[in-house]
Structures are given as C-alpha cells and as structure tokens.
Structure 1
Amino acid sequence: MKVKYAAQILSNTVAAVLKLLSEADLNPQHKHELMETALVIQDLYKLFDYTNGPSGPQDIKKGIRQNVSAKTDHLNVWADFRKKMEKLVFVKSNGMAATNVRCVKGYLITLSSLQDLWNKLSRLGFKYLNLRQLNQDALENLFGIIRQHSPTNKNPTCASFIGAIKTALISGLTAPHNRGSNCEEDCKKLLTNFHELVFENESMPKKDDDHDDHSAREEKEMEICEDSQLSAPVLSLPEVLDFEDIEKDLTDVDSQPLVYLSGYIASIIIKQYNCLRCKNNLTAEEPESCPLFRYIKLREWWNAKSCLTYPSLNLCRTIEIAITVFNTEIIGCLHQKNICQLAVTLFFIKCDISWFSCEMHSKLVFDVMFVRLSRLLVRRQCQRVNLSLSEKEENLASAVKNAQQRGISK
C-alpha cells in the first residue's frame, strides 16, 4: 500500500504553495480554485494531525499534534470534522453524486471510535492517550524493510516474502528507514535478537562506542573543512549592490523555496549560537510588510504569532550563490571523494561573507551554514539520481518478467 504520494500532496507545504500561487496572480482564471483547494488540503492535514499523535517530545505541536488529554480540544475538533465530512459530496465524471464513498464512511467510524475510546479511558482514570500507538506505522515500516530486500520485485511470491522477513528478523530490523516511505519511523525494537539467542553468554557491543566513533568522524571532517578554508581566498561581490533587484528576484514564486531554506538554516544557527548580533545579521527586521516572505507566512501555523524564522536579504543572497555554485561546479563531480569538503571550500571562495558583522562567531557560523547546506544539496542530488536509477531498474525488471511470462526469454 503505497500512500506516500497522497500524504505528500495532502500536506501543509502543498497548501502553502497553492495559496502562494493564488496570491501571485499567475493564473487569474484559476485563482479562486487554487485558494479553495489549498483550504481543503489544509483542513485535511489538520484532520490527520488530530487523529495521529506525536512520535516523541520533539514532534509535539501545541494545539495541533499532541497527546489527547482533558486540556486539549480533540473532542471538539473531532465533532466539527464529523459534521463537515457528513456534508461532503463527491461528484462523478457524469455529474452525478457518488452514494457510497468508503473513505468518508471509514473516517466517520474512526472519529466516533476515537471519541468513544477516549471517553472510556478518561472514566477509567487515564490522563493521556497517544494516538500514534493506534496506527499501522510499525506494520508499514516492517513491510518497507521487507521490500528493501528486493526493491524491483513489486509482486513477491509467498516464498520470497518468507525469505525476506526471515532475513529482516535475523538482522534485527536494522535496515535504514527510507525518508520517502509511507509513514514516519516508529522507533520500535524487537524484544530479543538473533545474537542474544545464539550467543547467550557473550555480551553485546555497546552502542556508546558506535556513537563516539560517529562523533569522532564528524569532528575530523569538520577539522578538515576548517583547514581547507583557512587558505581559501574570498572573492567579494561588487561593492554597490542593487538590493531592490535582488529582492525582486527572490520575491518571485520560483525563488520562495530558497527563502524558506535560508530561514531553516538561520534557525539552526540561532539555536546553536545564542548571540543577539548573529541573530540580527541572519534575520529580517520587519518581515510582516515584506513580500519576500510570502511563502514562510503561509507556512505559519498560527496567525497571531510567528514561529518560523525570516532570513535576511544578505543570507538569502549568500545561499542563492552557494546553490548556483553547487549546480554548476559540484554536480558534475558528485562521485568524487570528500565531495562535501570540496563544496564547502568552493562556497567560501565564491560567496561574500563580509556582510556578517559578528567577528566572534563569523567563522563558526559559516562553517555550520556551508557544511549543513552542502550535505543537504548532496543528499538531495543523490536522491534524484537514485530515483532515476531505481525507475530504470524497475522498468527493466518488469519488462523481463513480462517477457518470461510470455515465454519470450528465459
């Protein structure tokens, strides 16, 4: 059951993009339809959050995604969504209304069941209910691990499925979680593992050692990056910059993801270095009246307060130049070793960082910024290449399988 594309479409991100397109007047004849579609997707995303609990403390969104308790408004929201879904009408291609829509009936049953379950648990004295424990994420992730043993076999036989699940259980379900899978990582573990059953007297290796080795590798990589950056010359931009033209370019709809990425990187740096001067350099002074942040404003959960980070124009310009450098000079040699180190070095050479006025944290800030950006860009490009290769491999496997069924090839 592959629902990851539906989950990606019915998200707050897509709703914000549709609102942005509606306000940009690029499609005036479809402006009303874009806004209505965005509002529907936003309501569905809210419904998903109110019927699914947080995966951990870091995943809690107050007032949106949290455990059910007497202080939350889950019961009221569930009742409101029940009224809305009872009035939903699906129109067929011939203009007639559909009479038997199973997804709506199923969700109505789910909302009624959650309400009855919480009423029962609250009467028994329970104070919280984590809805995350009621979904099928663990089962979906198990099937995802099984599919990783034979990614090109879309229709496995019973024998191949049994072999794959045996391999997954023996390895302790240690396959990496796919970021593009149907659901989020559930962080569940087996009660025992193959090593403990076979070698009962031998002690398992400590996980702290692996964590220390991973941290040591990261520190070594950072030291290499720092050493390579000390002797790198910096080519500054022209002294007279037409900031109005730069801001106009970034205001364009196609550049809004770049602005959002800049805000994400700025938020990471601000949390790591609690410095007022760094914050003033990385964030905008008056984002409310600036059209540059239309997409970020649409991504806000609450209208009354701002929770996202609005990057400064200088930061957006620096990230834009770094992405351009990556697309023109790094993608062609992505197969080489130490590619992130090469990307960081080129970022320091090509980008102007003289606008950053905090001398105490200047080098540390741009180290973190360029290392994080290089990893994001390299990972994203690898995902694109892997997706293309995977599609070719699946198409080839399907063609061979069809040919074998017709008796054309062995």
Structure 2
Amino acid sequence: MIWKILSAKYKIIKTLSTRRFQQDPLENLFGCIRYNCGSNSNPTVRQFVAGLKTAVISNMAHTSSGNCELDSNSAIITNFKTLLTPATDICTDIEQSEHVYQIKKEIEESITSSLEENLEEGSSELQACAYVCGFIIKKNKISCNNCTKILVSETPEGVHNFVEFKNYDNVKKSLTYASKNLIACVEKSASIINIFLEKEAYEENIKMRVTQLLKDYKL
C-alpha cells in the first residue's frame, strides 16, 4: 500500500527499505532508558533525562531480555578517555587576572568609540535611552529633592525630542525628562554590558561579574 502510494506520487523512488519503518530502534532506546531507570515504567521527567544520559554514556548497551533486533549503528561515544579526563587548560589566578584586564581594556576602547557616536543628541540610541531613563525615574518614585535635581531635567532639551513626541499631553507633561548625566550613565552602562556579554556570555556568575564591572568603572 505504502509502496503504491509513494511510487505513484514520486517517480524518482526506485526502492523502498521497509526496515526503516520498523520501531525496533525506538523500542531499543526506550528499553535502555527503562533499564537505567530501574525498570520504572512511569519515570518522572528528571528520571527519564537521567536514564537517557546514562544510556548515551553506556553507548546504548543492549539488554539481554529485549526482543528487538540489535541496532547496527556505530558507538555514540568512542573515546571515554577524552570524556573522563579532567581538563588541563584551566586558567590560573594570574592568567585569569590578565584575562580580566584584557577584557576591561577592550571594553574601554569599544566604549570610547561607541559613546562618541551614541552621545550625540540627535542619535536614535540616545533618544531611546532618554525615554527609558524617564521611565526608570518615574518607576522609582524618588522623594529626595536633591536626587530629583540631579536626575531630572527641569526643561526639555534636544536629547528629549523623542520623549516630547511620546508625550500625549503637552500641558500636563506626564512623561519625565531625565538629566543628561543620567542618560550618559545609563547609555555607558548598557554599552559596557553589551560588550561584556559579547565576549563573556558563556562564563558563570554573569550578574555578579557585570555588577562588579560597573562598580569598577564608577558610573
């Protein structure tokens, strides 16, 4: 039936390997997983994943009680020595310090060129940043008068053009106009984080390292 349908629809098909339609490979896989789960017929997700990992590591060892044909595939993992040998390329403290210094140097160079482009009042980056800064100020509900003078601009400037366009009420002025210093600080912080993530996103403790990096720059 299948051959008739396929041969009629696809003239290019000359042969049909019916072995590909059998479910023995699938049964073998689940048999290995069940075997590694302690014959648990209803494992949890975590138990299933653990059983699958064990099955992969053991190269899908075939159980003696199975009634399925053995798979003829080559071993999944052929070099256990490489897999189980501890890595020797772990950075020492000195190498790590040099690496951190190099990253900071690259970030500093990238930020300098980036800020020269983005801190122009007419740039879309800075206009969008000014809008976000206004939202941050409004969200935090600052009650300190001195803080407000530092963070909020009393009158709109060129950097606030986008904010003014977003302001639906020209009289009430519901949106907040952030100061240039705050906008520059947020833009620089965003640049530092973006550059850092491009180079170090695969590392551990990303949040802690980014926080420390921002503190080091004394923004």
TM-score range, shorter chain: 0.3 to 0.5
Bigger radius of gyration among the two: 2
Give the TM-score, by structure 1 length: 0.24
Give the TM-score, by structure 2 length: 0.42
